[in-house]
Amino acid sequence: MQNGLPAGWRVSNSGGSWQAAAAPDRDDEDAAEIGAEEGLEPEDLRPDSPGWEDVEEENEELQVKSLLDEQIFSSVRAMVEHCKTTHGFDLDSIRKTNVLDFYSTLRLINYIRSEVASGNTKPDCSSPQAWMDDKYMQPVLEDDALLYSIDDLADPNDPEDPLIEPPQPEQPTEGQKTLVQRALS
């Protein structure tokens, strides 16, 4: 019993009207069982209990801002296609021509965003020297979804694309090294 009320009962308004506990559905029972295992009270598991308003939805939609204008896209590929068809700016071609890895691509994106923010809507990307300065490691846009999704720029059909990480060979454990040494002795 909490605050003199039976479990599940609560005062629902400032006028003091009482509300009985609703019959739990199966999900509430499952949550209660899980909560009990975790040491939580049933009141802690209700969506209207304190703290739930801070929980973020896991299925937030990606919002990628165009490199060259204010349009927002739900995918990196859609943004790249927009820049190519609308502005004649081929990010894939620039990446491929200059064989850009993750960090070079990050610098390029920040260079382009910096140039566009300065009013240059057609940044010169003909030479990598333009964007290789470490100042372009700093994001121009706060929480830039494109920077979080650079891997989506990789061409899955090109095994030579520097953004596609080659499988790393497993490092032998100490036990495996010992077995090899014994076998060779």
Tell whether 143 is covered by a domain.
yes
Tell whether 97 is covered by a domain.
yes
Tell whether 52 is covered by a domain.
no
Tell whether 2 is covered by a domain.
no
pLDDT confidence tier of residue 144, bands split at 50, 70 and 90: very high
The percentage of residues in the chain with a pLDDT greater than 70, rounded to a whole number, is 65
Tell whether 105 is covered by a domain.
yes
Write the burial class of residue 105 (CB in 10 Å: 0-12 exposed, 13-18 middle, 19+ buried).
buried
Query: Which residue reads 């899980």 in tokens?
Result: 34
pLDDT in tens, 27-72: 555 555 665 666 666 665 566 666 655 555 566 788 999 999 999 9
Tell whether 123 is covered by a domain.
yes
Tell whether 4 is covered by a domain.
no
In the predicted model, what is the mean pLDDT of residues 104-110?
96
pLDDT for 100 beyond 80: yes
Enclosing domain of residue 142: 64-153
Domain tally for the chain? Answer: 1
Tell whether 80 is covered by a domain.
yes
**Measuring CA to CA, which residue among 45, 57, 63, 153 is closest to residue 109?**
153
What is the per-residue pLDDT for 95? 94
